[in-house]
Chains A and B, each alone.
Chain A
């Protein structure tokens, strides 16, 4: 028996609060779970700074990765077998891609990537193809297998049906994170009838389609997603923590560039400051390491770094107001001048931030749009784009919603020092609130 088809002597299961059990029969999957690169995902939270608002949101990328794997396993083992468009030979690559799709995520990756100009997808590829334990397992399947898995995750794999299982507007990734994040945050949104969706999924040559009898379950899924984005993922207070985190990284990077001597040399960040990092440097980072630095930086002599670190560790977050960048960009420049006069560096303490989501989009043939729509399969085997049948989905199709906020430390503006200029700032900010 080849490694690609080799099964465990006895099936392993993980207890899971979302899917109840996660089943592992394939030896290759079991070996991948036990690699050091996959185990590292236990030390990276799925929802970054959302725990500052939803205290239950401490779940990791490890949980989510197993969840995506389980959904794809169920599709491959229970839904797709014996369907003409499904090639059984694609089963293992689909499972591996599902399991490993977030492998390159780092700690607080959203903020970290923005400041250090790195890309977690690039790291996913490097882990899959580089000198790693994951690569060694994948190569045992076949020499070209690591590249196949990397191609599925990068959406450049030859079989688009396999890609659509992991990356489309109704994929295993979204189906897991919506339910999992709803469970751990404790919100009542995010739930939908996944059992029903899986039962009515059908494979076609290029993508997964949904039997039209399952349309209402898909509507529910899209509305759940919409609610989760605005109630959880874009929560303005969690974004405040994210803004502070970004500013901590930015400050540390700037201090290093200016030759500042840290009380504790930031060894783990050194190669990212200098842009000489290796995969090994990246894999050495996790949230525990970062939190250790934030704790150390709370007593640094640089007042900005110590203040920002203290704010993050002790949840002394920035206040926010609504902000219209088209109308207010000149006011923002004026505020920056006043912040400087007040002795508060606007680079770190006056921050605009936006969040935006497009709940569902359809495809306009020939040009322009880039999202594969969800297709329904009618009883006479016609394929029909979802929003043409669903009034609910049609109402939100192609409609993007964006939210802008301006973040600032309110208590620094009311501390009694430099009163006149700070009052001027507060008046301008309050004027914007009206």
Chain B
């Protein structure tokens, strides 16, 4: 009961706050790919893997008063920053839902939204051999012009994250 909600609060609580809806979406996707206990269903959307279920849960958690959503007008776009309220801390502790290690959440949070979009997209196509995966990336993300260096860095990052993979 509400364990799924509690895991999201727990994950955000491991960071100093997550800036960007897109960024939070990709962080949870990457965590899910590493078999951390998130159940939200993802599909491929404009910015790569996206979960409508996660978007709903985040909005619900804000309505419940467990998450804060700070809205900042950046001129050409609106930026959202998420943090955990004292009520959210209590909710998380009451339900005792563990989600991820703090250093894992921080490692993701340190990265830019663009980098996480790239990483999540590469993970989305991880059933393909590396060259085909890159080819697919350029088809679906052609307008973003990811460089070879960025792509290499993302693959190395994915490799480094394997230490956090949940062993069931």
Interface set of A (CB-CB < 8 Å, partner B): 113-114, 117, 119, 121, 154-156, 158, 325-327, 329-330, 332-333, 336, 350-352, 354, 356, 364-372, 400, 402
Contacts and interface: CB of A to CB of B under 8 A. Distances in A.
Given A350-B1, A367-B79, 7 more contacts: A155-B44, A156-B139, A325-B64, A336-B1, A352-B2, A356-B56, A370-B55
Contact of B64 (A113, A326, A350, A366): A326
Nearest to A404: B60
A155 B1 contact: no
Contact of B94 (A158, A327, A333): A333
B60 A119 contact: no
Contacts of B21: 367-369
B50 interface: yes
Contact of A400 (B5, B56, B78): B56
A163 to B, nearest CB: 10
Contacts of B43: 121, 155
B108 to A, nearest CB: 17
A330 B2 CA distance: 11
Contacts of A330: 94
B50 A326 contact: no
Contacts of B74: 366-367
Contact of B77 (A155, A351, A368, A402): A368
B5 A325 contact: yes
Contacts of A371: 45-46
Nearest to A326: B64
B131 to A, nearest CB: 15
Contacts of B5: 325
A156 B59 contact: no
B103 interface: no
Contacts of A154: 44
A119 B64 contact: no
Nearest to B76: A366
Interface of B: 1-2, 5, 20-22, 25, 39, 41, 43-47, 50, 55-56, 59-60, 63-66, 74, 76-80, 91, 94-95, 113, 136, 139-140
Contacts of A332: 1-2
3 nearest interchain CB pairs? A326-B64, A366-B77, A370-B45
> Which of A155, A333, A364, A368 counts the most chain B CB atoms within 10 A?
A368
Contacts of B65: 326
Given A155-B43, A158-B139, A326-B63, A368 B20 contact: yes
A86 to B, nearest CB: 20
25 contacts: A117-B39, A121-B43, A155-B43, A155-B44, A156-B140, A325-B5, A325-B60, A326-B65, A326-B66, A329-B2, A329-B94, A329-B95, A330-B94, A351-B1, A356-B56, A365-B77, A366-B77, A367-B20, A368-B20, A368-B21, A370-B22, A370-B50, A371-B45, A371-B46, A372-B46
Nearest to A351: B1
A60 to B, nearest CB: 23
Contacts of B56: 356, 400, 402
A425 to B, nearest CB: 16
B38 to A, nearest CB: 11
A329 B139 CA distance: 45
A368 B78 contact: yes
B41 A368 contact: no
